[in-house]
Chain A
Amino acid sequence: GQSLEQPSEVTAVEGAIVQINCTYQTSGFYGLSWYQQHDGGAPTFLSYNALDGLEETGRFSSFLSRSDSYGYLLLQELQMKDSASYFCAVKGGYQKVTFGTGTKLQVIP
């Protein structure tokens, strides 16, 4: 089976940097994705890591260590609009995608 762990809540100050960690256990592994979901909205894709290392997309970066079954999402220059829930998701065997329970990020002035 597949399971993921991420913190339930994080609070950070506008303009700061925040890191959201995700550890996973899975049978079969293709990659780790991150999604953002605002209250009442649909999840939207942020990033995907299939190989070890850091992927950067604007203010957002995502990191993966396959040997440690660990990844993180890094958000820089935080803005109020970044307040949302962030989900890590693992694509494992048979292309099944399992989502973590989500980290609620609150950005404060």
Chain B
Amino acid sequence: NAGVMQNPRHLVRRRGQEARLRCSPMKGHSHVYWYRQLPEEGLKFMVYLQKENIIDESGMPKERFSAEFPKEGPSILRIQQVVRGDSAAYFCASSPTKGAGDEQFFGPGTRLTVL
């Protein structure tokens, strides 16, 4: 059973371009979380999704950021018109059920660098 997959692992964009980060949860997992991590800092919650639904996006910046988890295919975190401050590691995690206590399984992350 493959773990959480994220691609690309490294992404370089120039200011103003779009960044699309993909996350394929573990097989059988229907809950996906996105986190952002700046160097030497903790994980900042961005958004929690289930298939075709955004459950909690309280950590998402109001502009330029969007996320989806379609019925088929991976979850996508999209950043439009990137700025240097968007440079960070973006981690996706998945869990199997909604029940309290479920372990989150993290992907390897996408390191975004904005030039």
A binds B: yes
| A102 B104 Cβ-Cβ under 8 A | no
Task: Tell me if B42 is interfacial: C-beta within 8 Å of chain A.
Answer: yes
- Bound together, the chains give a CA A43 to CA B7 distance in angstroms of 17
| A43 B101 Cβ-Cβ under 8 A | no
Whose C-beta in chain B lies nearest to the C-beta of A41? B108
Given contacts A44-B106, A102-B42, contact A96 B101 (CB under 8 A): no
Given contacts A30-B101, A31-B100, contact A99 B43 (CB under 8 A): yes
Whose C-beta in chain B lies nearest to the C-beta of A8? B40
| A91 B101 Cβ-Cβ under 8 A | yes
Task: Tell me if A98 is interfacial: C-beta within 8 Å of chain B.
Answer: yes
Chain B's nearest CB lies how many Å from the CB of A3? 11
Whose C-beta in chain A lies nearest to the C-beta of B31? A95
The interface residues of chain A lying within 8 Å CB-to-CB of B41 are 101-102
Task: Tell me if A74 is interfacial: C-beta within 8 Å of chain B.
Answer: no
Task: Tell me if B1 is interfacial: C-beta within 8 Å of chain A.
Answer: no
Chain B's nearest CB lies how many Å from the CB of A19? 19
Whose C-beta in chain B lies nearest to the C-beta of A30? B100
- Bound together, the chains give a CA A44 to CA B107 distance in angstroms of 10
Task: Tell me if A50 is interfacial: C-beta within 8 Å of chain B.
Answer: yes
Interface size on B, residues (CB 8 A): 24
- Bound together, the chains give a CA A103 to CA B84 distance in angstroms of 27
Tally inter-chain residue pairs, CB-CB below 8 A.
Answer: 55
| A42 B108 Cβ-Cβ under 8 A | yes
The interface residues of chain A lying within 8 Å CB-to-CB of B31 are 95
Given contacts A42-B109, A43-B106, contact A100 B42 (CB under 8 A): yes
14 example contacts (A-B, Cβ-Cβ < 8 A) are as follows A30-B100, A30-B101, A31-B100, A31-B101, A42-B107, A44-B106, A45-B104, A45-B105, A87-B43, A95-B56, A96-B48, A97-B45, A99-B42, A100-B42
Known A96-B56, A102-B42; further 16 A-B contacts with Cβ < 8 A = A42-B91, A42-B107, A42-B108, A42-B109, A43-B93, A44-B106, A45-B104, A48-B103, A50-B101, A94-B56, A96-B48, A97-B33, A97-B45, A97-B104, A99-B43, A101-B42
**Could you tell me which A residues sit within 8 Å of B by CB distance?**
30-31, 33, 41-45, 48, 50, 87, 91, 94-102
